[in-house]
Amino acid sequence: MARSAATWKWRDGLWRLATALYAARVAFILLLLAAGLALMAASGWTWYEARRDNAVIAALAAGEDVAIDPDRASPPVLFARAHFLLKRDRLDEAQLLLDQANFRADDKTRVAMLYDGGNARLRASFADVENGKFERATSLVNLAKADYNEALRLDPQAWDVKYNLDVAARLVRDLPVIVPSEEPLQQKPRKDLWSDLPGVPRGAP
């Protein structure tokens, strides 16, 4: 009887062990299944977001004025929207996106956005110079220089940025110095001002 009881206990223990192993196996399979479903859902969402972003970027590139949420847009969408705005001299709207990019975009995207921003300010300054608005032109050029300098801090080898920074520096140097006066300003920009700027004066930087 003692042997039978021991055998029964041994078989019962073995059965319990097998049951526990089976339950653990089922739990492990269910865990793998749940992880797989979560991965599929994440991949599907990533694919959906990428497709949506590509559609927005394509629309902006085609000239459509597509609004975005600056707080949630991906860096490529921020760049595409900022580029759209800057090409149309909507500097204040674009600045909000440039500020967002400082927190969330990678350095390459930030450099591209800063370069675009500097170019837009430089273009705007050209019109102000031709209209005799030298004080505003100087302010815009200094802002452009700040954009270029920040871009060069992120990418010291950005040759185009270096070139346009040199253009901006020359432009500020050659602008008339504004002295407060009650009389209207009569001074005009030097006739050779634009010829001193290599390459870009009448076109886009």
Q: Please, are residues 179 and 157 in contact by the beta-carbon 8 Å criterion?
A: no
Same domain, 97 and 151: yes
What does each C-alpha distance from 7 to 12, 13, 17, 19 come to in angstroms? 8, 10, 15, 18
Our count of domains for the chain comes to 2
Please write the tens of the pLDDT for every residue from 86-117. 999 899 999 999 998 888 899 999 999 999 99
pLDDT at 37: 59
Q: What is the mean pLDDT of the chain?
A: 77
Q: Where is pLDDT greater, at 193 or 51?
A: 51
Same domain, 187 and 146: yes
Nearest C-alpha neighbor of 112 from the set 123, 101, 96, 122? 101
Q: What is the pTM of this model?
A: 0.65
- The domain of 122 spans 67-205
Same domain, 47 and 106: no
